[in-house]
C-alpha cells in the first residue's frame, strides 16, 4: 500500500485506465487486464466485480465477454474510485489518532493536516480517466515490454 491508496484502489484505477484506452464497445477480459498490468488475475477479477457493482464498468458474460467502461471517462474522477473502493470516510480522522479531533477541538497539527487533506482531495477530485489515460500509455508499454 502506498501512503494514500490501498493496493485494491491502485489496481482499480490502473484497470479503469486500461479500459479507457481500449476501443469503445469492445469487451476486455479479466485475464487480458491482469496480463497487461502484471497483477494477479483472480484479484483483479474481484476488483472488476466490485467496479461493476458500483457502476464504473459493465460486464458481459459468456464467450466473447469481458468488461468495458460504463460511463464516459471524462466523468470518472480518481476520488470517486477511491471512495467506492476504500469507503466514503477514507478522508476522515485525526492524523495523530486523537479521538474527537475537529475544528473546535483540534489536535496540535489539525489545521495543517486539513490543508494537506484538502489538497489531496482536490488533486484526486480534479483528475478524470480521460485526462490521465493517454499519459498512461507509456506505463502500459513499459510493463508489456518488461522494461521494468
Question: Which residue ranges make up the site for a copy of itself (CB under 8 A)?
Answer: 2-5, 7, 10-11, 13-14, 17, 38, 78, 90-91, 93-101, 105, 107-109, 112-113, 116-117, 119-120, 123, 127, 131-133, 135-136, 138-139, 142-143, 147-148
Spell out the alpha helix ranges (H) of 6-109: 7-21, 30-37, 41-53, 78-86
Query: Minimum CB separation from a copy of itself for residue 139, in Å?
Result: 5
Report yes or no: 19 and 68 within 8 Å, Cβ to Cβ. Answer: yes
Burial of 114 (0-12, 13-18, 19+ CB in 10 A): middle
Q: What is the largest CA-CA distance in the chain?
A: 58
The listed partner (DNA, a copy of itself, none) that binds 61, CB under 5 to 8 Å by sort, is DNA
The listed partner (DNA, a copy of itself, none) that binds 67, CB under 5 to 8 Å by sort, is DNA
CA proximity to 6, closest of 35, 33, 36, 46? 46
Residue keyed to cell 489538497: 119
The listed partner (DNA, a copy of itself, none) that binds 20, CB under 5 to 8 Å by sort, is none
The listed partner (DNA, a copy of itself, none) that binds 31, CB under 5 to 8 Å by sort, is DNA
The listed partner (a copy of itself, DNA, none) that binds 78, CB under 5 to 8 Å by sort, is a copy of itself
Dig out the grid coordinates for 36 from the structure.
Answer: 497487461
Site for DNA, rule CB under 7 A: 1, 6-8, 11, 29-31, 39-43, 45-46, 48-49, 52-53, 59-67
CA angle 118, 121, 125 (to 5 degrees): 135
- Which of 54/120 has CB closer to a copy of itself? 120
Amino acid at each position: 500500500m502506498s501512503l494514500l491508496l490501498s493496493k485494491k484502489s491502485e489496481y482499480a484505477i490502473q484497470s479503469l485506465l486500461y479500459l479507457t484506452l481500449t476501443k469503445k464497445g469492445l469487451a476486455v477480459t479479466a485475464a487480458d487486464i491482469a496480463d497487461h498490468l502484471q497483477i494477479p488475475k483472480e484479484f483483479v477479477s474481484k476488483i472488476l466485480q466490485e467496479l461493476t457493482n458500483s457502476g464504473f464498468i459493465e460486464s458481459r458474460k459468456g464467450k466473447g465477454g469481458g468488461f468495458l467502461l460504463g460511463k464516459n471517462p471524462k466523468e470518472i474522477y480518481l476520488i470517486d474510485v477511491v471512495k467506492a473502493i476504500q469507503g466514503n470516510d477514507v478522508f476522515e480522522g485525526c492524523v495523530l489518532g486523537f479521538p474527537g479531533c475537529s475544528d473546535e477541538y483540534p489536535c496540535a497539527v489539525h489545521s495543517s493536516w486539513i490543508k494537506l487533506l484538502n489538497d489531496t482531495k482536490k488533486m484526486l477530485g480534479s483528475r478524470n480517466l480521460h485526462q490521465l489515460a493517454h499519459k498512461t500509455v507509456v506505463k502500459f508499454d513499459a510493463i508489456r515490454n518488461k522494461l521494468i
